[in-house]
A and B are shown apart, each in its own frame.
Chain A
Amino acid sequence: MSSSHHPHPSEVTPESLYLNRRAFIKRASVASIGGAMVAGGVWARQKDAPHVEGTSDDELTPWETVTGYNNFYEFGTGKSDPKKNAQDFRTDPWAIEVTGEVTEKRTFTFDELVDGLTVEERIYRMRCVEGWSMVIPWNGFPLKDLIERLGPTEDANYVEFTTLLDRQRMPGQNSPVLPWPYVEALRMDEAMHPLTILSTGVYGKKLPPQNGAPIRLVVPWKYGFKGAKSIVKIRFTKRQPRTTWNEAIPHEYGFYANVNPEVDHPRWSQATERRLGEFFRRDTLMFNGYDEVAPLYEGMDLSKNY
């Protein structure tokens, strides 16, 4: 595994003003070279230029966007709804039930669950199935570390994550857009992969409610919807669990949901994506550029197991 695949942590700067200025400079330069673009030269270059991973291409998405442009239907279906509707969402106290194929079934408080686990910073690309992407500096710990501590049984082939169900605190659940509660799951080898994390923070701060506080899943080589938010239950299972989007629209959203430019969504192409804040779409990379996970799927037909 090459570390050059990931943006360097030193890029992290929480001050939103600074990022704003960077975004401004970027946009202003787009405006000023507008004339040159019309001349035509840029198209060719744009098309031919290889996307070098982990370099300046992966500038962090500004704090405003990371915390203000969210798909979290529990707080409404609009991109700015979660920020608006989640501000009073309290995550203390918070309980997480661990159950299923595990030696010790019990309910933990949030503090008990994360106690002793080392939180690190991970800068990951996040590719939404809708065709946009971000670069996010998460704070979290490898899911592997937690699973090893919980001790699943030999029959545990999958691990399932359930989001809080509370129509009072999550008003979006009053609307039947999805079968609530939200459930996502991973195969055990995916869950144990060192790239898979449970996140408790972003930009060095506690996870804001609209991003899935107090704890959420992040799987960077999969479409964003795999990242279950505000988790209240972790269940180890023998058989593949049902997952929410797959259950809602099975021919559009699969269980695996690996980022794959070759497999189109029935209604749109997945070959390109728009990095939020940028003007031109860029090519989407296989496994979102995290090639090291390819061995997990060896021998599988990814156009069938989408």
Chain B
Amino acid sequence: MPITPPIPSAPRKKDWVPGAKVVVWLASLAPVLILGDRIFLFGQFTGGDFVDDPVELIQHWTGTASMIFLFLTLGMTPLRRLAGFNKAHRFRRLLGLFSFFYASLHVFSYFIFDQRMQLGPIAEDVIERNWILVGFLAWVLLIPLAVTSTTGWIRRMGGKRWNRLHKLIYPTGILVVLHFLWQTKLLESEPLIYTGILVALFGLRWWVRK
């Protein structure tokens, strides 16, 4: 199923999508706000246990948020096709950009806090450790998608080329799940659940296309 660029909103009926987008946009910032509260205000507003290792919490939350937004982005087309929710695709760019936003926070918290911005150790880590390599690649692949997400870029590239480029979201999904699976000491249930979700999303798209 080719990915269609956003269509200009229908002129006559009152369009509720822009309003809904503002709500989704604000809700998408929730992970940042909760993190800030738990780390700097000791959970005064959102509760939770004492945070022993703030950086670990930041990395786990931003990584998970990025992955969830990636899955939501992937879920918009099946939602439109299967549930008949025709406006779903108009939230795709917003959700995709939030996935990139959280991925960037995730990657930079690693660059800054873990590696103190030293390029040598970063390069060494990326090359030597498979789970870091796949995570880094996933973020790199998201960069062109984020850059070309504007209407201007869609026009400049043409729908067909743009669609082809944005198919990069599929390998990105696989790399993200591998990154999660490979980083745990023992095989844990959480990464397996997310792997299952990705497989289900791919399956849905394949089924919709038939």
Contacts and interface: CB of A to CB of B under 8 A. Distances in A.
Say whether A and B bind each other.
yes
A274 interface: yes
Given A27-B40, A31-B40, A281-B116, A80 B49 contact: yes
Nearest to B182: A267
A69 B116 contact: no
Given A28-B40, A47-B116, A268 B129 contact: yes
Given A77-B186, A269-B125, A277 B116 contact: no
A43 B116 contact: yes
Interface in A260-279: 267-269, 271-272, 274, 276-277, 279
Most buried by A among B42, B50, B114: B50
Interface residues of A, number: 30
B50 A68 contact: yes
A46 interface: yes
Contacts of A69: 52-53
**Chain B: number of interface residues, binned into ranges:** 20 to 34
Contact of A132 (B53, B121, B129): B53
A238 B116 CA distance: 47
A268 B132 CA distance: 11
A143 to B, nearest CB: 28
Contacts of B117: 43
B129 A281 contact: no
Interface string A4-29: 00000000000000001000100110
Contacts of A277: 52-54
Interface string B117-156: 1100100110001000000000000000000000000000
A20 B54 contact: no
A274 B53 contact: yes
Contacts of A46: 116
B186 A65 contact: no
Contact of A47 (B39, B56, B118, B125): B118
Interface in B35-82: 39-40, 42, 49-50, 52-56
A267 B52 contact: no
B110 to A, nearest CB: 10
Contact of A281 (B49, B52, B54, B113): B113
A291 interface: no
Contacts of B114: 272, 274, 281
A48 B136 CA distance: 27
A279 B52 contact: no
Contact of B54 (A27, A268, A271, A272): A27
A79 B115 CA distance: 24
B69 to A, nearest CB: 24
A280 B113 contact: yes
A177 interface: yes
Q: Which of A20, A177, A277: most chain B Cβ within 10 A?
A: A277
A120 interface: no
Contact of A177 (B39, B115, B186): B186
Given A64-B52, A79-B52, 11 more contacts: A20-B42, A28-B40, A47-B116, A77-B186, A177-B186, A269-B121, A269-B124, A271-B121, A276-B53, A277-B54, A280-B112
Interface of B: 39-40, 42, 49-50, 52-56, 112-118, 121, 124-125, 129, 186
Interface of A: 20, 24, 27-28, 31, 37, 43, 46-47, 62, 64-65, 68-69, 77, 79-80, 132, 177, 267-269, 271-272, 274, 276-277, 279-281
11 contacts: A20-B50, A24-B42, A27-B40, A43-B118, A47-B116, A62-B50, A274-B55, A274-B114, A276-B53, A280-B113, A281-B115
